[in-house]
Amino acid sequence: MSNETHQDKKLVGVLGQFDSPDALLHACENARQSGIKKMDAYSPFPIHGIEKALGVPRTILPFFVLAVGLSACAAGLGLQWFTNATENWGPWSGYQFKISGKPYFSLPANIPVTFEIIVLSSAFAAFLGMLALNRLPTFANPLHRIARFKRATNDRFFLAIETSEGGLDATSARNKLMEYGATDVEEVWLDQTDHQLPAFLKTFLVLALVLLLLPPVMVFRGQGMTSRQTRLHLNPDMDFQHKFKPQSLGPVASDDPLGFFFEHKRSALAQIPGTVSRNQDDSDSTFLRGIKAGPDSHHTNIKIPVVLASNQEQEALTPAAAPVEPDWVTEFPEQFDVNQENMLLGQKKYDIYCSVCHGYSGEGDGLVNQRASALAINGGTTWTAAKSYHDPEVVKQPVGRIFDTITNGRATMGPYASRLSPADRWAIVLYIKAIQETRANVPPATDVPPEADKNAGAKAE
Amino acid sequence: MWDYNEQTRFEINLMATTVQTRIDNSIEDPSRRAPLITGGLDYDGVSDVVSDLAEMAKPPRIWYVLLAISASLTLILGALIGLLFFKGVGVWGNNAPVYWGWPIVNFVFWVGIGHAGTLISAILFLFRQHWRTGINRAAEAMTIFAVICAGMFPGIHIGRVWAFYWLFPIPSEHLSMWPNFRSPLLWDVFAVSTYFTVSLLFWYMGMVPDLATFRDRSTTRLRKFIYGILALGWTGSARHWHRYETAYTILAALATPLVLSVHTIVSFDFAVSIVPGWHTTIFPPYFVAGAIFSGFAMVITLLVPMRSIFNLKHIITVRHIENMNKIIMVTGLMVGTAYTIEFFIAWYSGNPFELFAFKNRSFGPFWWAYCIMFSCNVFVPQLYWFKRIRTSMIMSVVIGILVNVGMWFERFVIVMTLNRDYLPSSWSYFRPTWVDIMMLIGSFGLFMTLFLLFCRFLPVIAMSEVKGTITFQRNMAHAGGYADQH
Amino acid sequence: MHHIRKAEITSPITTLASDTTTRLVPVAGIAGIGCIAGAFLLSPGGFAHFSHAYLVNFCFYATICIGALFFVLIQHLTRAGWSVTVRRIAEIMACCLLPLAVLFLPILIPVMLGSSELYTWNTSRDSLGWAVGDGDMYDLKTVFLSKNFFALRNIIYFAVWSLIAWSLYRWSVRQDETGEKSLTMRMQGFSAPMMLLFVGALVFGAFDWEMSLSPMWFSTMFPVYFFAGCVLSSLATITLVALVLQRSGRVTDEITVEHYHDLAKWTFAFIFFWGYVAFSQFMLIWYANFPEETFWFRFRSEGGWMTVSMILLFGHLFIPFLGMMARTVRRSKTFLLFSSIYLLIMHWVDHYWLIMPQLGASVHPGYNSPTPIPGPPIPELLCFLGIGFVLFASVCLIAGKRSLVARRDPRLHEALNYNNP
């Protein structure tokens, strides 16, 4: 082989072949003793002690992995702290919520995820760090041009000594290798064209990258968009369930060959006349409904099930007239005593049930209301804001009307009859009236005993 | 490949069989270590034997038969998943109070199976157990395929599958909603996905030198290209080996606690609750032991047929099988101890609910499942006290299958504790639907399909590690510690 | 390739027996008994304080010996080669379970005499706490926690452990003379079934000695926690003893840095394992938050006990875990000497934390906090010295003129040529 035949090639080293790991190990030791530094050994499996023979320093990989692991520990804890234990902090808000009595940031419960994040990051650090330190993947290597070298991954052992202009020349390298016991020696030529990536591979890689990036980009974009299109029903079974609500109408007779439905194709039997269901006890209209007892007070607000054959008929029979405002009770009923005990009861119940929306001072600034209103402003949801009790319209309302609102709900507000007894509801009405009073007539300083003033001050702080 | 032809292969095999008849490497002799690679295989011989399946023009007919069966089952599984998405989880037998029915049983079962691979590759590596080199690659592959099957079940159980990414902490502009990191179910998401990723890294990294061997042996351009890309340009440089071995040790050291953590976290799913029979502190180590137990049983079930079909008997020797059987026996005893401690503490605690849960498990409506569990997991492995059974290939497979039946029923028994909750009016008998049953069978199809493809296209044995073991064996033979077969 | 050492030990047999040790045996024995008696007499908190302090130290030493027995068994079961040179140390330590059986009498005798100062279940129905309302459940529990059954169980534990430890030691010593390979086979065969008995005794020993101090409390993980401590402390002790013996010239070049490195790796693994078990046990009880379970951890998170808990968390887990991570550290004899002593101190704190909060603690969960320790830790220290002296004397008697290394084990050459990659 001469230089003429290798126009665009360059001699970079000499490769010697050995038959056993021991032979290679000895060759490395000898080469190092004779002062050769630029060399590398190749073997199909790791040879114990060869890095010492070659003078390879211990790798820094463990320290790199440790650093990544420690950072991952901090990142993992930080992630959980930010997402579960903070709110309105940073570009995306965290989301605090209580669950199973655990603190927002509860270290024992945060350990498993932190641990997994540490392991995942450290494993990637070890693998990618190894590749980076080894400068892999490198597909162009002059050694791969040598047919003999294919056995380096099978059953032969090689020592490559680098040659350079000022340093070792090919002949002396070759001689040295023979001296160390190489069975065969061959020159290694660097082909400059090897380093170019095939064109089709480039296209493929770019295409693959773009395609891989598409889904996350779509998802991310989709998050910020609203759409007027009908939503997609991916599994109609879940979206349109085959079920009937109580007292609703069933399908037409031909759809019900088994006679599953009741008379007039109802999904349940009609109520027996005279049935009084829960919360429909109207024996004491004043106390139970907040409506003055009178000839019309019965049945005004009770939806009597109408037995009908079809929707059209039902619509036809529904009274279209505007609802008549009932005759609301204006004073607290007899059974309910206006006293300190009931006031405290009302406060307690108010704080539990009402304050989340209406706020502790009745301004309509409860946490749920704030959050829901914020979301509604951002779009996507509808929300009727909770009323402030200090709204003149509300201040005007008679106690019976307020009682009815609690009992049956209004707009977004749901009925509370199932959760609060009538006495509790009246207590809340009492407390609401008191709240309104504080705003309407600020009591003169003389009316307030000094201790109470102090307490109020402390509370306000 | 070079100076390699049919004749030499024949000679190697002939030599291998003759030597095999002379060496029984399961015989115990304290002064000498039995050889782990028999048949006089040298470096080239190992490459030949292992590459044979990937390089032969046509694999054995049995491979096609098995692939046809398992691929059909996989198709059925796919169709059923489609049905599930369309109809909702009502197609399963899950009910109230058994909200978690077969899907979680299958999930825990497959995750458990997925534990042996990393145990073999990581823990036995740290213990310097040289016999692991013959079996680790196949076991790691099995781990990955089992974790795929495992991850599938909770993945398709979340109801609105198209919103699966809500499982991950992805910032969203409007909702400001994040996963609840205090929930054990979220720990599961992190544990299983980490486990899958790290196992995959570990498996792939271990395979790089062997893929380079495949690359250098390949005769067609396509093979050269694909294996060339996968091998990342590996040359076997001593510097590379040094960093590679360091990275491998680090990965092993990371994977070891990871293995513990994964099944521990799976056990937390149950044990952090206040359900009697679920809330018991021994669950973490007990689940881990059970996982190793079932995982090794599955490795045995796969490797025994594999070694005879693909002619790997000199690399996966009787001693390898015997060692794994011993581990099955030990972990079986651990599981048995945990059953006993649990039962004892249910009695000792003086908690009537706890005691009821355990009585109900063993004498309640699912007594038959408890019997299967106990006999397969505790009694059957006791047969391994006899060396004849430990070294019998047929018995190994039979017991391996029985152990996995038992371990499936263990998870079934645990989940069925829900069957009789605090409200006797809701007690009823749990029955799976046909979809439940076919999905379990289909998951085996998926698992087997992946495994068969692995056998055909990737190096089934860690060749470079086996070659290292051959060298070690030779060196020790000089020191008088290993039976010298050369 | 490498220099390969011959599979024999050329140096003369090194033993513990010397003029000094022979003279020290009776002195140590008497001093030990004296210390225990002194602890009893000088206890600031009366008999209750003494018995708790005694139990802390008894458990401290007993767990080390149980761990050593496990070490011997597992080496035989796995046919380990690397550990041959350090196995004899563990064998001698395991044999200390015989004198420990006698040292258990100061706990057993008061129980038999009806004392409930240590084990509150030994007195009244009320002491069982929670389950009192449930007649049947209570009756079941009293069957288990009764003094006669307690005594019977403890006799079985010590019989099992002593039998295993003594048999393995005797055969191993016989091999020093004869070099029979069959003895190795016999020890391996013996270890398999004995491991089952060993584990059974360990599980119920953990329940009896420490868990039943709070008769109400139960945790299925407890034996595993106990076991993790056993193995960790025994590994630290084996390392420490090997270092001391080598420094004093009783063992020469049989134990190399490779063996220390391997012991340190085991120690490192068990530091993590201990942390894993401790965390899992705490986590499950904390998360479920059952009153009948959490009170046990509440006792240990109030007042000064929180400090002790934190010392354990950092001192028993984080600090040694990070400290022993580096390979160079694990191969440094100076560091290992320090870390073994440190880990043993932490192991002592662990048992202190398990036992002492029960002193004066209300048996009714959640009603009371544990009372503080009633005075200076005189009985704790004196019992530590007392049991230590007695065991030192026993070790000298057990080891006697026998070799401190299994000189003719068939796998000795593996241990001598052992190299960590």
For residues B51 and B312, is the Cβ–Cβ distance under 8 A? no
Which chain A residues touch B177 with a CB distance below 8 Å? 95
Quote the pLDDT of residue B35: 82
Helices (H), B88-183: 102-113, 115-118, 124-126, 132-156
Which chain B residues touch A112 with a CB distance below 8 Å? 184, 187, 190-191, 261, 265, 268
Dihedral sign from CA coordinates of B219, B222, B227, B232: positive
Starting at the earlier edge strand, list the strands of the sheet with A157-162. A39-42, A157-162, A9-18, A184-191
- B423 burial class (0-12, 13-18, 19+ CB within 10 angstroms)? exposed
Query: Does position B304 have pLDDT exceeding 70, yes or no?
Result: yes
Q: pLDDT tens for residues A258-287?
A: 556 676 667 777 778 877 766 566 678 888
Q: What are phi and psi of A247, to 5 degrees?
A: 65, 15
Quote the pLDDT of residue A114: 96
Those of residues 100-139 in C touching chain B at CB distance below 8 A are 128, 130-131, 134, 137-138
Query: Does position C313 have pLDDT exceeding 80, yes or no?
Result: yes
Q: Which of B4-18, B332-346, C36-50, C168-182 has the lowest mean pLDDT?
A: B4-18
- List subunits contacting chain A, requiring 3 or more Cβ pairs under 8 Å: B, C
- Binned at pLDDT 50, 70 and 90, residue C250 comes out as confident
Distance CA B207, CA B234 (A): 11
- Give the helix, strand, coil percentages of chain C, each rounded to 5: 75, 0, 25
Cβ of residue C203 closer than 8 Å to a chain B Cβ = yes
Which residues neighbour A232 within 8 Å (Cβ) at sequence distance 6 or greater?
Answer: none
Which chain C residues touch A102 with a CB distance below 8 Å? 287
Cβ of residue C249 closer than 8 Å to a chain A Cβ = no
- C84 burial class (0-12, 13-18, 19+ CB within 10 angstroms)? buried
Dihedral sign from CA coordinates of A40, A43, A49, A53: negative
Quote the pLDDT of residue B486: 39
Quote the pLDDT of residue A282: 65
Q: Write down the pTM of the prediction.
A: 0.83
Name the residue among A170, A171, A417, A110 with its Cα closest to residue A281.
A417
Distance CA B75, CA C250 (A): 70
Q: With left for phi above 0 and alpha for psi between -120 and 50, is residue B232 left, alpha or beta?
A: left
> How many CA atoms does the CB half-sphere of B253 hold within 13 Å?
21
- Binned at pLDDT 50, 70 and 90, residue B25 comes out as confident
- Binned at pLDDT 50, 70 and 90, residue C137 comes out as low
Residues of A with CB under 8 A from a CB of C: 22, 25, 48-49, 66, 100-102, 108-109, 111
Q: pLDDT tens for residues C174-209?
A: 998 888 889 999 999 999 999 999 999 999 999 999
- Binned at pLDDT 50, 70 and 90, residue A10 comes out as confident
Given B86, B234, B254, which is nearest A122 (Cβ)? B254
Distance from chain centroid for Cα C97: 10
Dihedral sign from CA coordinates of C342, C344, C345, C349: positive
Which chain A residues touch B235 with a CB distance below 8 Å? 42, 141, 143-144, 149, 152-153
DSSP annotation of A260: -
Q: What is the mean pLDDT of residues B35-59?
A: 86
Distance from chain centroid for Cα A391: 39
Those of residues 293-332 in C touching chain A at CB distance below 8 A are 325
Percent of chain C with pLDDT over 70: 90
Q: What are phi and psi of A160, to 5 degrees?
A: -110, 130
Q: Which of A6-15, B51-60, C165-174, C283-292 has the lowest mean pLDDT?
A: A6-15
Q: Which of A370-379, B191-200, C245-254 has the lowest mean pLDDT?
A: A370-379
Query: Does position B440 have pLDDT exceeding 80, yes or no?
Result: yes
Which chain C residues touch A66 with a CB distance below 8 Å? 325
**How far is the alpha carbon of C260 from chain B, nearest alpha carbon, in Å?**
15
**How far is the alpha carbon of C1 from chain A, nearest alpha carbon, in Å?**
7
Averaged confidence pLDDT in chain A? 80
Query: Does position B291 have pLDDT exceeding 70, yes or no?
Result: yes
Which residues neighbour B333 within 8 Å (Cβ) at sequence distance 6 or greater?
Answer: B378, B381, C196
Between A and C, how many residue pairs show a Cβ–Cβ distance under 8 A? 19
For residues C150 and C89, is the Cβ–Cβ distance under 8 A? no
Residues of B with CB under 8 A from a CB of C: 28-31, 33, 126, 128, 245, 257, 260, 264, 268, 271-274, 279-285, 333, 337-338, 341-342, 345, 347-352, 355, 385, 475, 478-481
For residues A142 and A188, is the Cβ–Cβ distance under 8 A? yes
Q: pLDDT tens for residues B251-288?
A: 999 999 999 999 999 999 999 988 888 999 999 999 99
Percent of chain B with pLDDT over 70: 93
Task: Rounding to the nearest 10 degrees, give the CA dihedral for residues A182, A183, A187, A188.
Answer: -80
Quote the pLDDT of residue B6: 44
DSSP annotation of C178: H
Cβ of residue A370 closer than 8 Å to a chain B Cβ = no
Look at the block and give the residue holding tokens 């021991």.
A22
And the tokens for A343? 């006031």
Query: Does position B329 have pLDDT exceeding 50, yes or no?
Result: yes
Quick check: B479 and C131 CB within 8 A?
no
Name the residue among B422, B406, B404, B324 with its Cα closest to residue B372.
B406
Q: Which of A42-46, B3-7, B398-402 has the lowest mean pLDDT?
A: B3-7
Distance CA B333, CA B325 (A): 12
- B89 burial class (0-12, 13-18, 19+ CB within 10 angstroms)? middle
- Binned at pLDDT 50, 70 and 90, residue B37 comes out as confident
Distance CA C201, CA C197 (A): 6
Cβ of residue C414 closer than 8 Å to a chain B Cβ = yes
Q: pLDDT tens for residues B75-115?
A: 999 999 999 988 888 899 988 888 888 999 999 999 999 98
Quote the pLDDT of residue B472: 84
Distance CA B275, CA B351 (A): 12
Length of chain B: 486
Quote the pLDDT of residue B450: 96
Query: Does position A80 have pLDDT exceeding 70, yes or no?
Result: yes
- List subunits contacting chain B, requiring 3 or more Cβ pairs under 8 Å: A, C
CA angle centred on C149, ends C143 and C155, rounded to 5°: 160
Name the residue among B373, B372, B398 with its Cα closest to residue B383.
B398
Distance CA A117, CA B169 (A): 13
- Binned at pLDDT 50, 70 and 90, residue A2 comes out as very low
Quote the pLDDT of residue B77: 97
CA angle centred on A444, ends A439 and A445, rounded to 5°: 115
The strand pair at A157-162 and A9-18 is best described as: antiparallel
Name the residue among B205, B196, B283, B284 with its Cα closest to residue B240.
B205
Between A and B, how many residue pairs show a Cβ–Cβ distance under 8 A? 223
Quick check: B187 and A223 CB within 8 A?
no
Helix (H, G, I), strand (E, B) or coil at A191: strand
Quick check: A108 and C283 CB within 8 A?
yes
